Structure 1
Amino acid sequence: MIVQKIDILAATKHLEGRMETVTSELTAVMNRLEKLEKQNCRFKQIGALALFLLGAVFLMGQTSPNRTVEASEFILRDSSGKKRASLGMMLAGPGLALHDDGGKVTASLVASPFGGALSLYGGNRNAINLMPLNGGATLGLIDENGFETRVGTTDLVNPGTGETRWTSAASVVLFDKDKKVLWKAP
């Protein structure tokens, strides 16, 4: 029985030594596992940050759409394709023209070097013009034969000297179809 007790003690000591080895190995494995989990977490964080930065660079690299449309002329057409309005450069400057069914200009608004000018046209070359001239304003009425009445500032050329004289805003001048003065006041 003593021999059995000695064998049991020896076996127990052997097992205790073996248990300490297993416990120390298990502790080492657990430490390595914790270290790997921390590294894995860091890699995930770095990957997420890299994806975020890449997405931010991609989004910042995109330009916003240009909201300006540029052209030398814009044309508005009706459902049948006829030109009904145009916005572009005219003889006196930038302007807007409205067209009738036949394509003739019936109204125009132009920004001239002297200021804005408004013209309304009838079917037979008759027109109403309102425009600034030489520091004043002129209202012009033109009939189908080319006769014209100007109320307001008007440029008159002296046929003898060729000198140009401007009338006041309180004047009325009547012209014939050749632009010769028929009557004026004052």
Structure 2
Amino acid sequence: MKRLAILSLIALLMTGLVGCGGNNKNQSTESSKTKIEDTAKEKSNKQEKKEKIKTVQIGNTISNDSAEITINKIEFSYDVLPDDTSGFYTHYAAESGKVYINIDVDVKNIQKQDLPCDKIINVEANYNDGYQYKAQPIVEDASTGFTYANITSITPLETKGMRYLISCPQEVEETQNPLVITFNLNGEKYNYTIR
């Protein structure tokens, strides 16, 4: 009698284990399907983000609620000079083995309060699809050539000339690898393709 009870208990346990084992396959299949669907959604979201990035050209104006930014020129420079070099002026000479990407813009403050020059826009270069270089803003100044963006503001309805300088290796200028400048204005992105 004891043997019969033990054999019945073993048979019951084995049936339960076989039943649980079958569910793992279904769970595993469902888990794989979910992972594939999540990967497809991520790829779709990345494509949508790329599509949301607008292109911009020299002479175009980009804007938001606080500023209108006109892109005047984008060039490589080993020595960034102000527009007026007739008297005393400050300049930015690139270090040995480096070059600046000099982005010349005009910024108009269209809000009703002062606009800090270091908070207007973020600019960066993407070289060869992965090497990122961030820009430093400087402000054109009539008496010294340039001044620091963190101590300068633009009053309402005033337009100031600014530069965004990106220091990068000299190789960036000398090769033909892809180079894209991205302007990020409060989350709205604009790309300028140099090559």
Q: Normalising to structure 2: TM-score of the pair?
A: 0.29
Structure (1/2) with the larger strand percentage: 2
Task: Flag the structure with larger Rg.
Answer: 1
